[in-house]
Amino acid sequence: MELADLRCTDHPTEAEIRQQLDRIFASAEFHSPQRGRAFLQFIVDETLAGRSEFLKAFTIANIVFGRNVSFDAQNDPVVRIEAGRMRRALERYYLIVGRDDRVVVTIPKGGYVPSFTYAESGKVTGAITPFAASPATERDPAVDPSSPAPFTGSPNRPWIRYALPVGAVLVAIAALVHAPLASVFAAITGPPDRPTVADSTFPKILVEQFQSNAGAAGTGDIAQGLRDEVIGQLAKFKDIVVIANPATADESATEEPRYALQGSVRLEDSQIRSLVRLIRTADGAVVWANSYDGDMRSQGLFQIQEDIAQRVAGTVAQPYGTIFQTDADGLAKEGASGGFDGYACTLAYYSYRMSMNGASHDAAKDCLQRATQHNPNDATHWALLSLTNLDEFRFASKLHRPSSPAPLQRAVQAAQKAISVDPQNPRALQALMLVSFFQNDIDTALRAGAAAYAANPNDAEVAGEYGLRLSMSGKWQSGCELVSSAVNKSAGPKGYYEVGMALCAFMRGDLQAAELWSRMSDLEYNPMHRLVLLSILGAAGKREEGKQQQDWLQSNAPALMKNIRKEVSIRLQRAEDQERFFAGLRAAGTPVASSDTPVSTQ
């Protein structure tokens, strides 16, 4: 059957397709290296020539990438990786400069046969399958054979479903650079009747086989054991997807894991040294590396392996850790490049917590609301939405929000939803802990905190927040140990847990250490940090220095200064701790209202 006999007027012509391909290649917004362009050119040429049934991984690897006849798609994912990169490059092109192009080129997941459709006046026809009598698709060996066939057409543009995912990416960028949310959505997503945020796509990390020095007996088993322990510790984090064996991954394995964790173990007498590094697979860059030593004479082998695995997992996967920092930096530098989807809302939240301003708060909240609407079964996004609403209550002065119980109620509802979706999710338990604490339900708060910490003790953010709630509930010794651990692991926004350490020192009477910790906290992050310093300076008799802090607070946080007792009492639960704090403020010359009498600070 001839090509011309199979064409119909509802499908792009060969000339139109080739013109569109030339337009894509000529665009500065089509981000793909030469070998990616060669891949796209080859699969388009073969499809137009009626040979789409030959577009198998083996054929593409041999002809495009120069692999020899021993190529094994199970062990060499080069074709799947390039297909994933090309899908993202095409998505970016059509979102940024190709929005009005008449011909749309896509590569449906599940195979390597491209689809060519019209996108005229919002109308899209089916895929141009007439170029092959029986178009073939190639599923990954691990893909469930019962999964749906590849996407070949839609009543809407096939790329439109990515409009909000990339919009979500720009929300994260807005959070990072403090751009107003309205201008971001107006520029990219258009009117508010666009589709909602797509499903979350958390970063995937492939844990490769750890190497060992062949000269030492048993080192191979130690390396394997350490790798297994690392996998187990990483899997406790709900914001990443851990891949142990790419050959058994699901259909999403057509997308290259964003990161690969590599390691090695050397054994000499009783000494163990492990080298671990995190690789960004897109360019092979080493984004983090460290070495760990252990002595089997003082520690058992299992304990050494567990300690190393916990340290690796905590450094790499915790909030504000290596993966978060790398992804957030990538969003800020490269803009909307696709592939992040709803994970951008997670990045937007943590970026907002680092900047703590109204614009980034609104950007994160908007993104999380869209994410929960689209996927109500994502406990992490419900939890983060709860924490974002809670901040309007506990950080009202910093975010310039009116004092109101409404945000707390919204936070409670979102936390309850998160727990109903996944009662074991550490972030959901963290949200429940915090909303319960600020509702003055301390027993529930501490039970939730204990459960969150037990679910993932490697999560320094969970440990730090639990430590703060323990401390402010009067359990200063155990709480301050966890806060100290969070500080040592560089958890949280800059200076967030340092102010907790300042309170720990203040409550035990070490005013010198308290002032030092307080000044190490970020005084610009939250006016409460300055209030802590003011109380410490007052207790230390440094009234002149305290006056500087008081003047700043009266000028920049007048609402806080009018409600000092309320703001302190919802944080410090014991009356004796509150009175110690108030005594420091009074010594600094700051009046504090009685429990039922407002005090003017003007």
pLDDT at 180 over 80: no
Distance CA 393, CA 382 (A): 17
Q: How many CB atoms lie within 10 A of CB 72?
A: 10
Where in the chain are the domains? 3-158, 204-324
Beta-carbon contacts of residue 29 (< 8 Å; ≥ 6 apart): 92, 93, 96, 97
Mean pLDDT of the region 448-455: 90
Beta-carbon contacts of residue 502 (< 8 Å; ≥ 6 apart): 514, 515, 517, 518, 520, 521, 532, 533, 536
Q: Is 582 helix (H, G, I), strand (E, B) or coil?
A: helix
- pLDDT attached to residue 93: 86
When pLDDT is cut at 50, 70 and 90, the band that residue 223 belongs to is very high
- pLDDT attached to residue 248: 52
Averaged pLDDT score across all residues of the chain: 80
When pLDDT is cut at 50, 70 and 90, the band that residue 279 belongs to is very high
**Three-state SS string across 339-371, please?**
CCECHHHHHHHHHHHHHCCHHHHHHHHHHHHHH
**What digits encode the pLDDT tens for the residues 516-550?**
999 998 898 889 999 999 999 999 999 999 999 99
Is residue 455 within 8 A of residue 236, CB to CB? The reply is yes
Q: 575-587 and 527-539 are packed helices; what angle lies between their axes, rounded to 10 degrees?
A: 80
pTM greater than the 0.85 cutoff: no
Q: How many CB atoms lie within 10 A of CB 431?
A: 33
Report the share of the chain in percent with pLDDT over 90.
50
- pLDDT attached to residue 71: 72
pLDDT at 332 over 90: no
pLDDT at 309 over 50: yes
pLDDT at 481 over 60: yes
Is residue 52 within 8 A of residue 135, CB to CB? The reply is yes
- pLDDT attached to residue 183: 32
- pLDDT attached to residue 287: 93
Q: How many CB atoms lie within 10 A of CB 233?
A: 23
- pLDDT attached to residue 298: 82
Token pair of 297 as six digits: 């004479």
- CATH superfamily of the domain spanning 204-324: ABC-type transport auxiliary lipoprotein component (3.40.50.10610)
- pLDDT attached to residue 324: 86
Min mean pLDDT across 73-82, 428-437, 504-513, 514-523 is at: 73-82
- pLDDT attached to residue 585: 97
Token pair of 365 as six digits: 């909240």
Q: Is the dihedral of CA 152, 155, 159, 165 positive or negative?
A: negative
**What digits encode the pLDDT tens for the residues 89-136?**
898 888 778 878 899 999 998 789 999 998 754 333 333 333 333 333
- pLDDT attached to residue 74: 67
- pLDDT attached to residue 337: 42
When pLDDT is cut at 50, 70 and 90, the band that residue 255 belongs to is low
Helix ranges (H only) for 101-236 are: 163-177, 181-188, 219-234
- pLDDT attached to residue 111: 86
Distance CA 454, CA 456 (A): 5
Is residue 276 within 8 A of residue 312, CB to CB? The reply is yes
Min mean pLDDT across 35-39, 260-264, 325-329 is at: 325-329
Distance CA 250, CA 243 (A): 10
**What digits encode the pLDDT tens for the residues 145-161?**
233 333 233 333 333 23
pLDDT at 168 over 90: no
Half-sphere exposure of 578 (CA within 13 A, CB side): 17
Q: 426-438 and 406-421 are packed helices; what angle lies between their axes, rounded to 10 degrees?
A: 150
pLDDT at 178 over 80: no
Distance CA 39, CA 22 (A): 14
Position with higher pLDDT, 340 vs 136: 340
- pLDDT attached to residue 574: 94
- pLDDT attached to residue 595: 62
- pLDDT attached to residue 525: 87
Mean pLDDT of the region 285-304: 90
Token pair of 267 as six digits: 């054994």
When pLDDT is cut at 50, 70 and 90, the band that residue 300 belongs to is confident
**What's 129's DSSP letter?**
G
Distance CA 549, CA 555 (A): 10
Mean pLDDT of the region 183-199: 32
Position with higher pLDDT, 231 vs 247: 231
Distance CA 284, CA 286 (A): 6
- pLDDT attached to residue 150: 32
- pLDDT attached to residue 11: 82
Q: Please name the residue that has the structure tokens 């094994």.
A: 72
Using CB atoms within 10 Å of the CB of residue 41, give its burial: 0 to 12 exposed, 13 to 18 middle, 19+ buried. Answer: middle
Q: Is 243 helix (H, G, I), strand (E, B) or coil?
A: strand
**What's 200's DSSP letter?**
B
Token pair of 67 as six digits: 């692999």
Mean pLDDT of the region 36-53: 90
Max Cα separation, the chain?
95
In 3-state terms the chain splits into helix, strand, coil percentages (rounded to 5) of 55, 10, 35
Distance CA 313, CA 322 (A): 10
Nearest Cα residue to 528 out of 577, 477, 563: 563
By residue count, the chain amounts to 602
pLDDT at 28 over 90: no
Distance CA 367, CA 198 (A): 11
Mean pLDDT of the region 392-420: 93
Beta-carbon contacts of residue 572 (< 8 Å; ≥ 6 apart): 472, 578, 581
Question: Which strand (E) or helix (H) includes residue 291?
Answer: strand 285-295
Half-sphere exposure of 283 (CA within 13 A, CB side): 6
**What's 542's DSSP letter?**
-
Distance CA 38, CA 26 (A): 14
- pLDDT attached to residue 216: 64
Half-sphere exposure of 147 (CA within 13 A, CB side): 17
Distance CA 100, CA 116 (A): 15
Min mean pLDDT across 164-173, 230-239, 252-261 is at: 164-173
- pLDDT attached to residue 376: 93
Nearest Cα residue to 240 out of 302, 327, 134: 327
- pLDDT attached to residue 331: 65
Paired sense of beta strands 241-243 and 259-268, if any: unpaired
What CA–CA distances, in Å, run from 444 to 195, 223, 416, 427, 447? 38, 42, 13, 15, 5
Position with higher pLDDT, 440 vs 166: 440
- pLDDT attached to residue 571: 94
